[in-house]
Structure 1
Amino acid sequence: MSEPARLTRDLTEPTPIPEAGIARAVELMRSGRLFRYGEMGADQLDVSLLEREFAAFLGRRFCVAVNSGGGALFLALKVLGVQPGDPVLVNGFTLAPVPGAILHAAARPVIVEIGPDYVIDPEDLRRKAASSGARVLLLSHMRGHLADMDAVMAAAAECGLQVVEDCAHSLCARWKGRTIGTFGAAAAFSAQTYKHLNAGEGGFLVLDDEDMAAKAILHSGSYMLHGQHLSSPGPAALEAVAEDIPNFSLRMSALAAAMLRPQLAELPARAARWNAIHDRIAAGLRRSQHLKVPERGGPQDFSATSVQFSVLGLPPERVETFLSLAKARGVPVKWFGAGSQVGFTSAPRHWRYAGDQGALSRTHDVLAGLCDIRTPLSLTDDECDLIAAIVRESIETVARDGATPTSGAKPRQPA
């Protein structure tokens, strides 16, 4: 009997940096001028040019490039006036840097329930806004899953909420034709490896308000060299608050910007190919009665760099076995229902630093079966089909055989 087919690709393989970015990065390294500001004048414009180009790409007035997506979220909360101890609403399906940014601002996360489609529940948003007195919603478009933005923004307006969008996984996405990242007062993007743009680490804050943009530039660490910013509200707005705003040293380096600028032109083609990969794998997963993949059509143009699905009707120990079977055939699957944090994956029950959040029963129920597969941009159609087949066959084996946990597997702890 032949061995079952195995995926031999590394699903953590990123897309190479464009040659133009490599050439500019090498030029900068040979010069040693890696800091974004030039003390003798504006002779190092890589970051400033990227900020202007990124703002134009999104259709927002201002962009401030920083050292991480989490740093951009923190900066957004600061320029919106979030104070120590303030409650900040955040949906329950997100990654640890998001509640981390709230704690970084010395604020208090208030977690809002999600539904079976993985996105924020507008009715629980209303309840939590009323019970907490929060005035800011940090809306995470986690893994590119878009909530009904009409319903969310209506609830935010009704509750008097300012919205910060976490767009780490949603670059190029749209809701009814409107670009994600333009709904809130501010939006944060990431350039960490495995995102749509890759500098290893990096982030962008985009916004339209002149006063907030001035504060963001100063907070980011411009010293008194903010005149070198090309995406800026101008010297008058900056000088008006220059002595009131502390320097948090969040700057993006010239080296990161040099790698990123050529990638902007490739974004539409990248996003289209990533969505094609998502749709092909998702179609294969939907052939199993034991898996559910949320529909992502309707008024949204989503932008996916990975595939999510839910395991149906299996206890934690059988999910562990399913994960082991898929991994043995070359497909590592992340699981948000694991008893402890693994790699990049965590869930609200792991965030003890966020304080007591109450039951969050619907969020825990959804995350208990939620799985995630990274999808490098270079996957072929045949590899997409093989990934889906391995996942299908692994889950169907466990469901059919009633397999027991593999040795050393840890069952999920109760929420």
Structure 2
Amino acid sequence: MTTETKEIIKFEKDFTRQEAIPEAGIKRALEILETGCLHRYNTPKGEVSDVALLEKEYADYVGAKYCAGLSSCGSAIYVALKSVGVKPGDKVLCNAFTLAPVPGAIENAGGIPVFLEIDENFLTNLDDLEKKAVESQAKFLLLSHMRGNIVDMDRVTEICSRLGITLVEDCAHTVGARWGDKYTGTFGKAGCYSTQTYKHMNSGEGGLLVSNDEDVIAKAILYSGSYMLFDRHISRPSVEVFERHKKNIPNFSLRMSNLVAALLRPQLADLDTQLKRWNDRYYVLAKGLEGVNHIRIPKRPEKEHFVASSLQFTLTDINIEMVEKFIAVCAERGVEIKWFGAKEPNGFTSSWESWEYIKEKQKLPQTREVLDFLCDFRIPLTFSLEDCEVITKVIRQVVEEIF
């Protein structure tokens, strides 16, 4: 009598491989290289720089009055915090489920993070927000739409308005996403977006900061390193607004370059098409994992118009050792899952407990419990819908074998 051996399913593609830059972006980048005019203020007389054009186009896209191009999303967040008035020693409310550049920006601005719990759907616990806002008397909230998960922004803005809290949004993972009919990044004083390689628009590194407040954007442009060339921006308030700030704002040299903007402008023009492609892949993955024992996909609010360039799920009714084994076996079979429960930082993944430069230690038992069983992986557009089906088959097979 023979025992039949079950075929091991493996996935062969790279989770970090992105699509090529559009031909129009490559062509424009080569034109800029040939002129040598890479600096945003180094353009021929009478011409508008690629960065200035991108800023105007992005502001129009999200329905904001103004936009400034920065060197990264982290620098955009830092500049936003400074521009809305964060001073050394100020407390800044911030969801605990985020990535290292977010508390890094708070630290850079001299602020003190006050971390907020998250719930089982990976969203900021708004009861905890209200409680800690009152207890800490913090007047600033830096809200990360972490991994593209958008909390109830109606309640967030109501709490901020009632308690006199200034809202800054970290939209690194929500370019093109909306709550209701309003784009993320436009609910508070400033919104910050990423164009790092793994985001919805890819320029390697890059950041965009939007605001409807003329003083905030003028300060942001000055902080970014405009020298006295702010009149070359087209997404800006009047020169008179800059005149009242220009001698009080230091130059941090955090500008976006023309080369970066050249790569981004054709991607912005095609963004809505790309966003649909990401969600098509997400739905295949979510459907393939739905109903699998020990896996729970988060519930998404009806008003959340998300853009899913990654997928998260919770492993249920198991222990930490089993989580580690699940991650390891999936990796052996080509499915690279990131785990936020690891005690040591790994790659891009870390938690508030490993940010030891923050002197005020904070206990977040609900967040710790959620992160211990939270799994996450990217969904690059180099994956086909069929590839996504294979990924779910690998995960299902691993679950059946080890749980």
Partner of 1:138: 142
Partners of 2:48 and 2:253 in 1: how far apart? 18
Q: 2:367 aligns with which of 363, 368, 373?
A: 363
Q: 1:20 aligns with which of 9, 13, 24?
A: 24
Gaps of 5+ in 1: 400-415
Note the C-alpha offset of 1:257: 0.4
Note the C-alpha offset of 1:43: 4.0
Partners of 1:242 and 1:110 in 2: how far apart? 31
Residue 36 (str. 1) matches residue 40 (str. 2)? yes
TM score, norm. by length of structure 2: 0.96
Q: CA offsets per residue over residues 327-375 of structure 1, 9 Å max, x none?
A: 1111010000012111111111111122334321001110111110111
Partner of 1:412: none
Partner of 1:319: 323
Alignment of 1:263-274 (within 5 A): 263-274=267-278
What one-letter code is carried by the residue in structure 1 that aligns with 2:98? T
Partners of 1:13 and 1:104 in 2: how far apart? 31
What one-letter code is carried by the residue in structure 2 that aligns with 1:216? A
Q: Secondary structure at the match of 1:163?
A: strand
Q: Give the 3 Å change call, closer, same or farther, for CA 130–380 of structure 1 in structure 2.
A: same
Partners of 2:288 and 2:107 in 1: how far apart? 40
Alignment of 1:205-284 (within 5 A): 205-284=209-288
Residue 285 (str. 1) matches residue 285 (str. 2)? no
Q: CA offsets per residue over residues 150-192 of structure 1, 9 Å max, x none?
A: 1211121222111001000011111122211111111000000
Partner of 1:111: 115
Residue 346 (str. 1) matches residue 350 (str. 2)? yes
Note the C-alpha offset of 1:297: 4.4
What one-letter code is carried by the residue in structure 2 that aligns with 1:32? G
Gaps of 5+ in 2: none
Q: Secondary structure at the match of 2:114?
A: strand
Q: Give the 3 Å change call, closer, same or farther, for CA 352–137 of structure 1 in structure 2.
A: same
What one-letter code is carried by the residue in structure 2 that aligns with 1:138? L
Note the C-alpha offset of 1:313: 2.1
Note the C-alpha offset of 1:42: 5.4
Partners of 1:204 and 1:362 in 2: how far apart? 32
Q: Secondary structure at the match of 1:115?
A: coil
Partners of 1:40 and 1:16 in 2: how far apart? 29
Q: Secondary structure at the match of 2:244?
A: helix
Q: CA offsets per residue over residues 63-84 of structure 1, 9 Å max, x none?
A: 0000000000001100111000
Contact 1:284-1:385 at 8 Å conserved across structures? yes
Extract structure 1 runs of 4+ deviating beyond 3 A.
Answer: 39-44
Q: Secondary structure at the match of 1:295?
A: coil
Contact 2:56-2:234 at 8 Å conserved across structures? yes
Note the C-alpha offset of 1:2: 6.0
Residue 129 (str. 1) matches residue 133 (str. 2)? yes
Contact 1:329-1:390 at 8 Å conserved across structures? yes
Q: Secondary structure at the match of 1:194?
A: coil
Partners of 2:220 and 2:208 in 1: how far apart? 11
Partner of 1:154: 158
Partner of 2:402: 398
Q: CA offsets per residue over residues 173-223 of structure 1, 9 Å max, x none?
A: 111222111111110000000101100000001001111111111110001
Contact 2:37-2:43 at 8 Å conserved across structures? no
Q: Percent identity?
A: 46
Partners of 2:399 and 2:9 in 1: how far apart? 15
Note the C-alpha offset of 1:44: 5.6
Q: 2:392 aligns with which of 369, 388, 391?
A: 388
